[in-house]
Amino acid sequence: MKTVKDYIRTIVDFPHEGIMFRDVTTLFADPRGFRMCIDQMLHPYAGQPIDKVVGLEARGFILGGAIAHQLGTGFVPVRKKGKLPGTTISQDYKLEYGEAIVEIHDDAIEAGERILVVDDLLATGGTAEAGIKLIERLGGDIIGCSFIVDLPELGGRKKLQSMNMDVQVLCEFDGL
């Protein structure tokens, strides 16, 4: 029987030489693989009240929408700066090659709402950390962070766990 990891292809030297890109679009394209992924991402949180699912740009939108649908709850995107209409709050974070900024609508989460954060891949944890900070500034209570892939050598999981986050991943890949 196939696992979620079996549906993910690796593209060598993308987007730069020496990078092993873990491509989840092949997982999303397969109906059995995609259903398995969503079910497994939800499993650790079965029975817990979740008010909203927050998806991190951009593949987190695909996962977050599907998970929110399964839970019968709302979905909130955390987007790159300048992509959301209306009033937003921003958080900057470091990338391997510079800095970036993500935003969330300032009315997207009410104080005390229980939030599940989702994305496809956990590398350095910078984007997830920025999203967590935005949610916390709005008063959200993060019950967990769920990812398909972890790249443990880059330390993102440890970073989020040091922030007292519950981190769930479906599979790991060695290397960058």
Give the per-residue pLDDT at 27. 98
pLDDT band of residue 98 (cuts 50, 70, 90) is: confident
Copy the structure tokens of residue 125.
């944890």
From the list 153, 130, 154, 137, the residue with the least C-alpha distance to 145 is 130
Domains and CATH numbers, the chain: 35-172 (3.40.50.2020)
DSSP 45: G
Q: Distances from the Cα of 129 to the Cαs of 7, 34, 39, 51, 159, in angstroms?
A: 27, 26, 24, 20, 8
Residue 96 bears catalytic tag: yes
Which position among 32, 35, 96, 110 bears the catalytic label?
Answer: 96
Average pLDDT over residues 46-64: 97
Distant-in-sequence contacts of 11-18, Cβ < 8 A, 24+ apart: 18/176
Copy the structure tokens of residue 66.
């599907």
Portion of the chain with pLDDT greater than 70, in percent: 99
Which position among 59, 114, 136, 137 bears the catalytic label?
Answer: 59
Cβ burial, residue 37 (10 Å; 0-12/13-18/19+)? buried
Residue 59 bears catalytic tag: yes
* pLDDT surpasses 90 at 106: yes
From the list 102, 99, 61, the residue with the least C-alpha distance to 81 is 102
From the list 121, 120, 117, the residue with the least C-alpha distance to 108 is 117
Q: How would you classify the pairing of strands 20-23 and 9-12?
A: antiparallel
Interval 109-167: pLDDT, tens: 999 999 999 999 999 999 999 999 999 999 999 999 999 999 999 999 999 999 999 99
Copy the structure tokens of residue 7.
């549906």
